[in-house]
């Protein structure tokens, strides 16, 4: 029997739509079961007034996923950070050594939960001040994506890095992204950006 991972992407009001939906899109193209989970409602309003319809609301089933991912967005990240229910679930996931991921502003939530202690990570420029205050033993980098395999935490920088974040999530879960990167012209984009610099 072939193992196929299961992922939850948690959406909160004020989230960066592109960061959450890019992950869902890429993972579903890879045939990874990916659920859209609303923080407090199945209907979420993103930072740019895009309505997002989720399949479910945060509950204890979050413990069953192989990875839980957070999109950023300043207000969305604050909503994730301030949810006691989500905090309790994410701490338990971390204690069970399961993968967790956050990008852009959302690492402030992981920092508040204590999940960035002694962890390599990145986040949107400027939000590292908050993460460093909450997690002084964390190690901040400016890389596009940062994966701490020991702590099982994946982080990324901002809207433009959403695809890199999605591919990194898939790869850390053991899924080959080679063909999809080609099909989605991801490699073409990367190569041409490098040539233009």
- Within a domain: residue 37? yes
Segment 15-29, tens digit of pLDDT = 999 999 999 999 999
What phi, psi does 81 have (nearest 5°)? -60, -35
- Within a domain: residue 1? no
Instruction: Using CB atoms within 10 Å of the CB of residue 2, give its burial: 0 to 12 exposed, 13 to 18 middle, 19+ buried.
Output: exposed
Range of the domain at 99: 6-196
Give how far Cα 47 sits from Cα of 13, 65, 76, 131, Å. 7, 26, 8, 21
Our count of domains for the chain comes to: 1
**Alpha-carbon gap, residue 194 to 45, rounded angstroms:** 35
Instruction: Using CB atoms within 10 Å of the CB of residue 146, give its burial: 0 to 12 exposed, 13 to 18 middle, 19+ buried.
Output: buried
Please report, for the domain that includes residue 188, its CATH number.
3.40.50.880
CA dihedral 88, 11, 112, 85 (to 10 degrees): -20
pLDDT for residue 197: 61
- Within a domain: residue 118? yes
Flag residues of the chain having pLDDT under 50: none
Report the residue count for the chain.
197
102, β-bridge pairs: 70, 155
**Alpha-carbon gap, residue 121 to 12, rounded angstroms:** 22
The encoded tokens of residue 10 equal 């948690």
pLDDT for residue 1: 55
The encoded tokens of residue 178 equal 């080679």
Q: What is the pTM of this model?
A: 0.96
- Within a domain: residue 72? yes
């Amino acid at each position: 029997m072939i193992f196929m991972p299961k992922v939850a992407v948690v959406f909160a009001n004020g989230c960066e739509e592109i960061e959450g939906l890019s992950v869902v899109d890429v993972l579903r193209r890879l045939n990874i079961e990916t659920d859209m989970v609303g923080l407090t409602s199945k209907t979420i309003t993103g930072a740019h007034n895009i309505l997002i319809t989720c399949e479910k609301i945060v509950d204890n089933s979050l413990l069953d996923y192989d990875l839980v991912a957070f999109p950023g967005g300043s207000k969305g990240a604050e909503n994730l950070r301030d949810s006691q229910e989500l905090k309790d679930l994410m701490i338990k996931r971390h204690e069970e050594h399961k993968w967790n991921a956050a990008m852009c502003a959302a690492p402030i939530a992981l920092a508040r939960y204590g999940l960035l202690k002694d962890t390599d990570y990145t986040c949107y420029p400027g939000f590292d001040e908050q993460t460093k205050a909450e997690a002084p033993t964390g190690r901040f980098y400016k890389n596009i994506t940062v994966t701490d395999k020991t702590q099982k935490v994946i982080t990324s920088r901002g809207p433009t890095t959403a695809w890199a974040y999605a591919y990194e999530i898939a790869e850390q879960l053991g899924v080959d992204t080679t063909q999809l990167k080609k099909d989605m012209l991801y490699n073409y984009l990367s190569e041409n950006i490098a040539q233009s610099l």
